[in-house]
Amino acid sequence: MFGSWHLGNDLVDLSDPRHMGKAADERFLRRVFSEEEQEVIRTASQPDRTLWLHWAGKEAAFKTISKLQGQPPIFHHGLFRVRLPFLNRTQPSSVAATLFGEVEYQGTVLPLRVEASGGILHALTWSPGTRIQPPSFSWGYRPIEGNSRGWQASLRDRFTDREWRCVSHHASALARLAAKEALAVALGVEPNSLEIGCGEGMPGRRIPQVFLEGVEADMDLSLSHHGRLLAWAFLNP
């Protein structure tokens, strides 16, 4: 259905206190960002926001590249080069804005779109196809609800065995449930007819797989979560 189209999305919750003031961490900057990216971050009017815009692009691109290669590569953030040409012109803060750019990884260039609104950054990369417009896709995010204490017992019966082996923690479980609800609406089916499994690999790095009535569907899905939020993106059927 979708041929070689693939999506990757990433979400950053800027209200997370662990991520405030990170632009002043020179060691972190050198480890994660290219010299060009470091210069963009240091000279930005909002260095922290600019840093996490670049981070979200790298994370989203990693997910797209993982699908293109069939498995996740070793994740060296510095190998993913983010370019957002109109970043300094927009510098979104409390006003919602859409930024467009690209991420390059070892010669492969992925288009990048970032929705920035207040304390939320939601990035999407896709490949291949037109550099101007992405394929038809749906995406969204919502707050993480419920208490993480004892989450396994409270959520286990909402997953099949195939799905449960892919769940690594509370936010991972909730992201899958939210994505399943959105997919069910898009496909016009009942949520319990869908499963969100995963490929092989390390927890948190496994590529999501969608199953409809027990059969793997030609659906490209990406999941993300951070801080108080979780997110999903998928190609429209």
Per-residue pLDDT band for 91 (boundaries 50, 70, 90) equals low
231 in Cβ contact with 208 (< 8 Å): no
How high is the pLDDT of residue 189? Answer: 96
Which of 67, 86, 63, 83 has the alpha carbon at shortest distance from 75? Answer: 63
Based on the fold, state whether residues 78 and 127 are members of the same structural domain: yes
Per-residue pLDDT band for 218 (boundaries 50, 70, 90) equals confident
What would the mean pLDDT of 20-43 be, rounded to a whole number?
A: 95
How high is the pLDDT of residue 208? Answer: 95
Residue 17 scores a pLDDT above 80:
yes
Is residue 212 one of the residues assigned to a domain?
yes
Higher pLDDT pick, 12 / 146: 12
Based on the fold, state whether residues 127 and 17 are members of the same structural domain: yes
Which residue, chain included where needed, has tokens 């286990």?
156
Half-sphere exposure of 61 (CA within 13 A, CB side): 30
How high is the pLDDT of residue 118? Answer: 82
User: Please, where are the H alpha helices in 84-132?
Assistant: 87-90
How high is the pLDDT of residue 2? Answer: 42
- Last residue within a domain, chosen from 114, 135, 156: 135
92 in Cβ contact with 116 (< 8 Å): yes
pTM over cut 0.95: no
Per-residue pLDDT band for 100 (boundaries 50, 70, 90) equals very high
How high is the pLDDT of residue 174? Answer: 96
Based on the fold, state whether residues 108 and 170 are members of the same structural domain: no
Is residue 161 one of the residues assigned to a domain?
yes
Token pair recorded at residue 121:
């950054």
55 Cβ contact partners less than 8 Å away, ≥ 6 residues apart: 10, 12, 32, 77
124 Cβ contact partners less than 8 Å away, ≥ 6 residues apart: 7, 8, 9, 60, 112, 113, 114, 134, 137, 139, 233
Cα–Cα distance measured from residue 96 to residue 111, given in angstroms and rounded to the nearest whole number: 20
Based on the fold, state whether residues 121 and 153 are members of the same structural domain: no
Based on the fold, state whether residues 114 and 50 are members of the same structural domain: yes
How high is the pLDDT of residue 84? Answer: 94
Based on the fold, state whether residues 145 and 131 are members of the same structural domain: no
- Last residue within a domain, chosen from 135, 153, 178: 135
Based on the fold, state whether residues 153 and 223 are members of the same structural domain: yes
- Point out the least confidently predicted range of 52-66, 131-145, 175-189: 131-145
Per-residue pLDDT band for 20 (boundaries 50, 70, 90) equals confident
pLDDT in tens, 124-178: 999 865 555 667 899 999 999 888 888 999 999 999 999 999 999 999 999 999 9
Residue 230 scores a pLDDT above 80:
yes
Token pair recorded at residue 92:
């979104």
Burial letters 26-61, b for 16+ CB under 10 A, else e: eeebeebbbeebbebbeebebbbbbbbbbbbbbbbb
Is residue 1 one of the residues assigned to a domain?
no
Is residue 80 one of the residues assigned to a domain?
yes
Q: What is the count of structural domains for the chain? A: 2
Cα–Cα distance measured from residue 222 to residue 15, given in angstroms and rounded to the nearest whole number: 23
Neighbours of 118 (CB within 10 A): 12
- Last residue within a domain, chosen from 101, 135, 169: 135
CATH number for the domain including 19?
3.90.470.20
Most confident of 59-63, 115-119, 124-128: 59-63
The parent domain of residue 203 ranges over 141-235
Based on the fold, state whether residues 11 and 99 are members of the same structural domain: yes
Is residue 17 one of the residues assigned to a domain?
yes
Residue 92 scores a pLDDT above 60:
no
What would the mean pLDDT of 185-194 be, rounded to a whole number?
A: 95
